[in-house]
Amino acid sequence: MATTDWWRSAVIYQVYPRSFADSTCDGIGDLGGVIDHLDHLGELGVDAVWLSPFYPSPQNDGGYDVADYRDVDPLFGDLDQFDRLVAKAHEAGLRVIIDIVPNHTSSEHAWFQEALRASPGSPERSRYIIRDVPVNNWGSVFGGPAWSRMADRGADDDQWYLHLFDATQPDLDWTNHEVRDAFLSILRFWLDRDVDGFRVDVAHGLVKDLDAPDVTRHDADVDAETRRPMWDQDGVHEIYREWRKVLDDYDDRMMVAEAWVLDSERVALYVRPDEFHQTFNFEFLTARWDAGDLRKVIDDTIRSTVGVGAPMTWVLSNHDVIRHATRLALPPGQERRNGLGPKHPQPDADLGLRRARAATLLMLALPGSAYLYQGEELGLPEHTTLPPEARQDPTFERTDGEELGRDGCRVPLPWQADEPGYGFGPTEKTWLPQPDSFAAHAVDVQSSDPESTLSMYRNALAVRKEHDLGTGELEWLRTENEVLSFRNGSITVVANAGERPLSLPDYGEVIIASRAVSSEVPPDTTVWIRHGQSQ
């Protein structure tokens, strides 16, 4: 593959390995399942695949509790299989990005096990944020307190450790040079195995202001993790400047920040020329299906990223949020919940899918890079009826079921409508139960339907590539009465986010539409129009 700034316009597909495809009959997705379905990604037309964690882990947080950063959990395969996956992806023209989780380790990591056996004040304990008493009242993102006793994990003393997430995920102390040096080595380990980049988990959380005044529970909640004292500290940027030097020693590599920072000016600090190449655009993900809100987010994104020479990025779903085919149909105030269940008002599935398709066409026509989450190309909704006994997200247990967690967006994919487990693996086993509605969303059903969501994604990605939309420039034409319209090169986009039909502009030929159009663009519909050709 040629050396270019490929990430500036790439469409990158997230694989959550547990839920993508099972090749070993245990009901859990694995690297072999990814290899077996690389052709799906090739036919879809994406440029790269991002793999969520596959490292050795007790799986208390879906693999984001890492016990060893230099290996593959036997649940998913081994290092040789990982190397084959990278090689086969590269042969297919796909880049490979992997997750790095630097904010915390698993409590089963060798370092934390050494800390448990060591005495207070020892070098082994200095790798983590450990104090004689809790020094603040911070709460865990997953619910409950963010401080736990070392004795709860088997130590012989009463010191406390910080965990912004689950109690099995102790936070590392990034003022410790051994921690910093170890992660530079980890980056090189995977770069030497030919990965093309890294998605950095909780990138805004590595540095904490432990001396800050106490905060309310809401301030420490995931919905407000935009600034101090545990998020978005200025000190994180020094760490990533060191990381960038490592990546610059290799050709054509990149890293993208998972920084839940909703201030576009603060986000831009992460993508200065000597730090990250990209950061996820969570301001876009959290925007309502509203023309005014979307216009503001798009303008803020372009202004802030162009100012530092970084590419725009766009995303609508991932493994941590309600799938946008459900979220976009929720009433205001509910769309930020991290889980829905039978006791919550159930959204209109048809409305959600219409809006999801329209929002997707809007996103894929924007200049810059776009991220897709596995299954969104099938129009998968959130699984809202998972029984309590099936749930595995630690949020569910830590909040006594008040917050349902993220299992609903992590349900195994449907590949074949008439097969057990919808073809997820060789048996009917799936680590989370699939709803009956998944049969209609299966890949084999949609592949032969030119009007399906899968066909729309394939067509849109082909046109995006043909017309170089990722490297284009946006020119606004109209934003009024719930209508967004802009030009990108030879394509004009019209998105009707209102409740009334819109007369179809006479710009040329409609080449893609999220919903059937004639002389009007229906509500909740986006169309792409090629200039200069009559309809």
Determine, yes or no, domain membership for 460.
Answer: no
Summarised one tens digit per residue, pLDDT across range 429-487 is: 999 999 999 999 999 999 999 999 999 999 999 999 999 999 999 999 976 779 999 99
Determine, yes or no, domain membership for 373.
Answer: yes
Tokens, residue 248: 């610059």
| Residue 503 pLDDT exceeds 50 | yes
Q: What is the pLDDT of residue 224?
A: 42
Tokens, residue 403: 């917050």
In this structure, the answer to whether residues 217 and 130 fall within a common structural domain is no
In this structure, the answer to whether residues 432 and 478 fall within a common structural domain is no
Determine, yes or no, domain membership for 91.
Answer: yes
Sign of the C-alpha dihedral, residues 134, 136, 141, 142?
positive
- Can you tell me which residue has the tokens 């909040």? 399
- CATH code of the domain in which 500 resides: 2.60.40.1180
SS3 category, 49: strand
In this structure, the answer to whether residues 83 and 189 fall within a common structural domain is yes
How many residues in total does the chain contain?
535
Tell the burial category of 41 from Cβ atoms under 10 Å away from its Cβ (0-12, 13-18, 19+).
buried
Interhelix angle 177-191/236-248, nearest 10 degrees: 30
Summarised one tens digit per residue, pLDDT across range 30-73 is: 999 999 999 999 999 999 999 999 999 999 999 999 999 999 99
| Residue 171 DSSP one-character state | B
In this structure, the answer to whether residues 385 and 503 fall within a common structural domain is no
Residue 486 pairs in a beta bridge with: 476, 493
Contact 154, 102 (CB under 8 A): no
SS3 category, 356: helix
| Residue 3 pLDDT exceeds 60 | no
Summarised one tens digit per residue, pLDDT across range 209-232 is: 999 988 865 444 444 444 579 999
Contacts of 71 (CB under 8 A, 6+ apart): 55, 56, 79
Distance separating alpha carbons of residues 461 and 11, to the nearest angstrom: 8
Tokens, residue 89: 């992806």
Going by pLDDT thresholds of 50, 70 and 90, the confidence category of residue 306 is: confident
Write down which residue in 425, 455, 485 finishes a domain: 455
Contact 207, 233 (CB under 8 A): yes
In this structure, the answer to whether residues 94 and 127 fall within a common structural domain is no
Could you tell me the end-to-end alpha-carbon distance of the chain, in angstroms, rounded to an integer?
A: 39
In this structure, the answer to whether residues 331 and 415 fall within a common structural domain is yes
Determine, yes or no, domain membership for 463.
Answer: no
Going by pLDDT thresholds of 50, 70 and 90, the confidence category of residue 531 is: confident
Summarised one tens digit per residue, pLDDT across range 400-421 is: 888 889 999 999 999 999 999 9
Task: Give kind and range of the element (H or E) at residue 256.
Answer: strand 254-257
Q: How many helices (H) and strands (E) does the chain have?
A: 14, 18
**Pairing relationship of beta strands 491-496 and 525-531 according to DSSP bridges:** antiparallel
Answer yes or no: pTM beyond 0.85.
yes
Determine, yes or no, domain membership for 497.
Answer: yes
In this structure, the answer to whether residues 293 and 150 fall within a common structural domain is no
Contact 173, 228 (CB under 8 A): no
- CATH code of the domain in which 140 resides: 3.90.400.10
Distance separating alpha carbons of residues 404 and 410, to the nearest angstrom: 13
Going by pLDDT thresholds of 50, 70 and 90, the confidence category of residue 336 is: low
Determine, yes or no, domain membership for 172.
Answer: no
Determine, yes or no, domain membership for 168.
Answer: no
Residue 141 backbone dihedrals phi, psi, to 5 degrees: -60, -30
In this structure, the answer to whether residues 150 and 253 fall within a common structural domain is no
Tell the burial category of 158 from Cβ atoms under 10 Å away from its Cβ (0-12, 13-18, 19+).
exposed
Contacts of 459 (CB under 8 A, 6+ apart): 512
| Residue 201 pLDDT exceeds 90 | yes
Q: What is the pLDDT of residue 167?
A: 97
Count of C-beta atoms within a 10 Å radius of residue 399: 17
Determine, yes or no, domain membership for 261.
Answer: yes
Instruction: Give the Å distances, CA to CA, from 414 to 15, 58, 195, 420, 425.
Output: 14, 26, 28, 10, 10
**Structural domain total, the chain:** 3
18 alpha-carbon distance from chain centroid: 15
Q: What is the pLDDT of residue 339?
A: 67
Contact 366, 491 (CB under 8 A): no
Query: Domain containing 141: what range?
Result: 110-162
Farthest-apart Cα atoms in the chain, separation: 78
Contacts of 197 (CB under 8 A, 6+ apart): 7, 48, 95, 97, 98, 247, 253, 254, 255, 256, 277
| Residue 334 pLDDT exceeds 80 | no
Distance separating alpha carbons of residues 319 and 219, to the nearest angstrom: 23
In this structure, the answer to whether residues 348 and 395 fall within a common structural domain is yes
Distance separating alpha carbons of residues 452 and 263, to the nearest angstrom: 36
Distance separating alpha carbons of residues 282 and 302, to the nearest angstrom: 14
Nearest to 41 by CA among 10, 2, 64, 77: 10
Type of residue found at 54:
F
Tokens, residue 74: 């036997």
Summarised one tens digit per residue, pLDDT across range 245-278 is: 999 999 999 999 999 998 888 999 999 999 999 9
In this structure, the answer to whether residues 362 and 417 fall within a common structural domain is yes
Residue 520 pairs in a beta bridge with: 503
Residues acting as catalytic residues = 201, 258
In this structure, the answer to whether residues 140 and 183 fall within a common structural domain is no
In this structure, the answer to whether residues 122 and 238 fall within a common structural domain is no
Half-sphere exposure in the Cβ direction for 105 (13 Å, CA): 24
- Can you tell me which residue has the tokens 């050795």? 56
Going by pLDDT thresholds of 50, 70 and 90, the confidence category of residue 533 is: low
| Residue 2 pLDDT exceeds 70 | no
- CATH code of the domain in which 81 resides: 3.20.20.80
Summarised one tens digit per residue, pLDDT across range 358-396 is: 999 999 999 999 999 999 999 999 999 999 999 999 999
Nearest to 371 by CA among 535, 257, 247: 257
